[in-house]
Amino acid sequence: MLAYLDPEGTRPGELACLAGRNKQTMGAILDELDRLGYVRRTPDPGDRRAKLIMPTERGLRLMEASDGFVAVIEQKLSDALGPDLYQEFRAALRRSVASLPPRGYDTEG
């Protein structure tokens, strides 16, 4: 979820949409991240009825570390495949993910 979080704050509904989760599930995740000190809820200055989810200093450190890990993994894959094949791989992966249903698979067939 932190991958979708804007350091300036993101509304819970937008996070739920980006993460492909329903609002109730996202609320439970946010409650836990708040309890653990990674995020905090603040009033949205644009709409005082709404809340923004903001990363705490601890959350920002985790986001930075995560970005670093992803960069290392991407570089290793690019080195192994070569830059052109790696870009083709990323494009194929994006197309594959875009073709999936928004909330997982229909297990009924």
The 10s digit of each residue's pLDDT in 62-81 is 999 999 999 999 999 999 99
> Do 66 and 94 share a structural domain?
yes
CA-atom Rg of the chain in angstroms: 17
> Do 11 and 47 share a structural domain?
yes
What residue numbers bound the domain in which 17 lies?
2-56
Residue 91 placed within a domain: yes
Quickly state the pLDDT bin for 103 (edges 50, 70, 90): low
Residue 109: predicted pLDDT: 43
> Do 69 and 51 share a structural domain?
no
Neighbour-count burial for 32-48, b at 16+ CB within 10 Å, e otherwise: ebeeeebbbeeeeeeee
pTM for this model (two decimals): 0.74
